[in-house]
Amino acid sequence: MNSGHILLLGMGGTIAGVAMDRAKPMAYQAGAIPVSGLVQDLELDEDFGEIEAVQVANVDSRHMTEELLIQLGWAVKDGLERPDIVGIVVTHGTDTMEETGIFLHATLGKLASHYKKAVILTGAMLPANADHADGPSNLRAALYLAKEAKQTEQFGILAVMAGKLCLARELSKQHTHALDALVVNAHEIDGPIHKRQADLSLPGQAQWPWVEVVTSHGGASGKLVDWLVSEHVDGIVVAGTGQGSIHGRLADALIKAAELGIPVVRSSRTGAGAVFSEISEPDSARNWLSARDLSPPKARIALQLAILEANSRKTDDWQSIFATI
């Protein structure tokens, strides 16, 4: 098995977390253990080969920033381009793993497929010192999947949690504490991956467009959208009810925002399923776009990247770019 080594990039999270009291594993500090310490007791095969551990960050992922996404993105790109690295594993907090997943998918998915390498995101729902901690088994699975990607033809930007391998694009945290909280609605990968991977530029600058998520609900108003527009927001994702339906007052404000040229993407707050154009709202007449199967937080990152890409290509057509993600 020992041919080429694995790059292990640590971002922090519960997988690197420590509970103050082992009997109360829900009270812990995320991002407490260095990533090199996570592999020490994994009992990998003797011939597994070298693991090069690099600490990109060690944070609770609620505090992720665009700067950290950029740092991670360039570290992944570097690993993909290095001939001595056969695969990459990223340990990450689960709270925003889906946002990092869509970011890596959109910017480096095609490159990973080109080099026939897997970039596998993983994390944990229980801190490292909890009884039955899930981090070690998730990390072990990720390391083997990354190592064997060329033989299994399972490459691209992927994720493994609770024994389930999926495209990182399909991650979506849908439970507060279940061990499979992120993959519960993702399609399990059980063969070679032929799915197209997106190909947007990896941002090199920290100044990303300002994109906010607003939620539709009973009694909604357009006041928040009006305020965002007055503050020069660059894009708005609306988390609609059901199939992405929007309260009339909120819709009126979003129509006005789109008329002013502000990109508006319509998603659903339900947590699963997809939002399709023209079903429940006339997107094209309003110059809005549907998020398809992207959750509101993923649609937010996708819209930021689509606006950045449109700016760099000097086009207004952010919609066509968003549609490739």
Q: Which residues bind ligand SIN (CB under 6 A)?
A: 12-14, 30, 60-61, 93-95, 123, 125
Least distance (Å) between residue 298 CB and ligand SIN: 15
Cα–Cα dist 7/165, whole Å? 19
Nearer to ligand SIN, 12 or 109 (CB): 12
Least distance (Å) between residue 107 CB and ligand SIN: 21
Nearer to ligand SIN, 70 or 125 (CB): 125
H/E run at residue 252: helix 248-259
Residue type, 89: V
Least distance (Å) between residue 273 CB and ligand SIN: 24
Least distance (Å) between residue 29 CB and ligand SIN: 10
Closest among 141, 191, 145, 147 to 163, alpha carbons compared: 141
Nearer to ligand SIN, 132 or 194 (CB): 132
147-154 long-range CB contacts below 8 Å, 24 or more apart? 147/1, 147/6, 147/48, 147/49, 147/86, 147/87, 149/86, 149/87, 149/116, 149/117, 149/118, 150/86, 150/116, 150/117, 152/192, 153/116, 153/191, 153/192, 153/193, 154/118, 154/189, 154/191, 154/192, 154/193
Nearer to ligand SIN, 213 or 274 (CB): 213
Q: Is 70 helix (H, G, I), strand (E, B) or coil?
A: helix
Least distance (Å) between residue 35 CB and ligand SIN: 13
| Cβ contact 10:38 at 8 Å | yes
Residue nearest to ligand SIN (CB): 93
Nearer to ligand SIN, 88 or 124 (CB): 124
Nearer to ligand SIN, 10 or 13 (CB): 13
> What does the block give as tokens for 104?
């890596």
Least distance (Å) between residue 176 CB and ligand SIN: 10
